[in-house]
Structures are given as structure tokens and as C-alpha cells.
Amino acid sequence: MKKWIGLGIAGLVIIFFLFANQSGNVPLKAVEIEEYEGEKLGSIEDFRENSIKGPQYIDIETYQLEITGLVDTPLSLSYEEVLKKPIYEKVVQLNCVEGWSVRLLWEGVLMEDLIQDAAPMEDATHVIFYAVDGYATSIPLETILERKMLLAYKMNDTVLRPDRGFPFQLVAEDKLGYKWIKWVEKIVLSDQSDFRGYWEKRGYDNTADIGTPEGPWEDPGKVKD
Ligand SMILES: Nc1nc2c(c(=O)[nH]1)N[C@H]1C(S)=C(S)[C@@H](COP(=O)(O)O)O[C@H]1N2
Ligand SMILES: [Mo]
């Protein structure tokens, strides 16, 4: 009798894990890659978590990414809807003003694809990003397009953790870390060239360029359509 109960419980546990594996939006894989095309990468652990309000825990079932402002077709997309767009990857380095940096493989969708879907109006010149912790930043639309910036959901082949910006972080290539907004929930097309985000309002340069502001930038590689 006891044996049957034991077997029954084991069976239920197995069934539970089978379902848990299938139903998740969030893959379970959590081992980061260390190398990409022969290049040694930095680690997810190299960040110094110093966000304005600490890690944010987003309920992905209710999460919506809004794309609004000076657009003809405002959008509100679920996590899965965002990830239906073509997926790209690229190794990009984040440099924080505090003096540390980390070079990782980022995987996500092109900002351009999201913005085009919303049909921006002609007078839209800037993109303002808002996050769930009250953080905000902005980047000229042209810069986002020319650098083919990604909105990442993975770093080093692992899904972003809550402390790393889950569900999405902007890969603001060649811009200082404070432009790499995490936990993005709203993207507003705007004509406000003088908008200043959280750190920009507190004295940090609104351009935040590092490296080569005139490019050229290597295109991200397509992972899947
Ligand atoms: N939503 C949000 N995004 C944010 C921040 C923040 O406080 N809130 N900090 C920025 C800064 S200053 C840097 S350097 C990068 C990486 O910071 P982290 O190491 O805290 O992840 O995230 C940026 N994105
Ligand atoms: Mo930073």
C-alpha cells in the first residue's frame, strides 16, 4: 500500500515538472555562456546593482509594453508579443559612469521594429523610455535607428533576472550606462529634444556618448525570424 502511495506521489511530481516546463514563458536555462565567436565575455555577476530603487519584480502575466506618444498606432504588447518579432544578438559593452564596465552578448528585438509597428509621426524626433521603478531616460530617434539598438530580454544566453532588468533592458550601444534603462514599460515617441531623464536631470550629460559617436556600428546578427 505504502509503495503505491510513494509511486503515486513520484508520478505527480513528474507530471508537475513536465507541465511546469511547458507552460512557462520564461525558459528555465540559467547557465550563462562565457565566450562568443572566440571572444571571452564578461559575466552577469560583473554588474554592480545600484538602481535607484533596487531590483524590480514584474508580474509577466500582466506586464504590457506600451509604445505611444507621437505615433499613429499606439501599441500595448505582452512579453510574448514583443518576442514574436525577429530576434537579434550582439556583443556590446556597458560602461557605467562609476568606472566599471561589462561586455556581454545581448539578445533581443530591434527597437526599430517596435517603433515602425507603432507608425511614428513625422515630428517624432526623440524616444523617451519609462521604467517601473520611476526611472526615465531619452535618446534621439535617429540614434536608436542608426545604431540598430536592441531591446534585450537575454544576456549571455540567459533570460534577464529581476535584478538585471527583467523583462527588458535597452542596449544603448556607445552610450553611458544610465541610458541602458531596465524594467522598461513605456516607450514614448516625442518632439521634446530637451527632455531629461532621472540622472540627466541630476547633472549627467544628456548625450552620454562614449567611443565613436559617428560610428560605424556593426549590425546585430539575426538569431531567428
Ligand atoms: N529602471 C532603471 N534602469 C536603470 C537604472 C535604474 O536605476 N533604474 N540604472 C542605470 C545605470 S546608472 C546603469 S550603469 C545600468 C546598469 O546598472 P546596474 O548595474 O544597476 O544594472 O542600468 C541603468 N538602468
Ligand atoms: Mo550607472
Q: Is the CB of 129 under 6 A from ligand 1?
A: no
Asked whether residue 23 carries a pLDDT value surpassing 60, the answer given is no
Question: Residue 34 contacts by C-beta under 8 Å, 6 or more apart in sequence?
Answer: 40, 41, 43, 156
3-state helix, strand, coil in the chain (%, to 5): 25, 30, 45
- Measured between alpha carbons, how far is 191 from 193 in angstroms, rounded to an integer? 6
Distance 48 CA to ligand 1 centre (A): 9
Split at pLDDT 50, 70, 90, the class of 15 is very low
Q: 89, 223 in Cβ contact below 8 A? A: yes
Asked whether residue 21 carries a pLDDT value surpassing 90, the answer given is no
Strands (DSSP E) contained in the chain are: 35-36, 39-40, 65-69, 75-77, 87-95, 101-110, 126-131, 136-140, 150-155, 158-159, 169-171, 184-190, 221-224
Beta-strand pair 184-190/101-110: unpaired
Q: Ligand 1: which residue has its CA nearest to atom 10?
A: 178
Q: Is the CB of 84 under 6 A from ligand 1?
A: no
What is this structure's pTM?
A: 0.88
Distance 5 CA to ligand 1 centre (A): 50
Q: Ligand 1: which residue has its CA nearest to atom 4?
A: 181
Closest ligand relative to 49 C-alpha:
1
Residue 34: φ, ψ to 5°? -110, -10
Question: Which tens digits make up the pLDDT trace of 56-70?
Answer: 999 999 999 999 999
DSSP secondary structure of 95-137: E-TTS-EEEEEEEEEEHHHHHHHT-B-TT--EEEEEETTS-EE
Q: Is the CB of 48 under 6 A from ligand 1?
A: yes
Residue among 57, 92, 180 whose CB has most ligand 1 atoms within 8 A, to mutate: 180
- Measured between alpha carbons, how far is 127 from 148 in angstroms, rounded to an integer? 14
Q: Is the CB of 52 under 6 A from ligand 1?
A: yes
Question: Which tens digits make up the pLDDT trace of 126-180?
Answer: 999 999 999 999 999 999 999 999 999 999 999 999 999 999 999 999 999 999 9
Question: What does the domain layout of the chain look like in residue ranges?
Answer: 28-223
Q: Ligand 1: which residue has its CA nearest to atom 13?
A: 177
CATH topology of domain 28-223: Sulfite Oxidase; Chain A, domain 2 (3.90.420)
Q: Using omega within 30 degrees of 0 as the cis cutoff, is the peptide bond preceding 167 cis?
A: yes
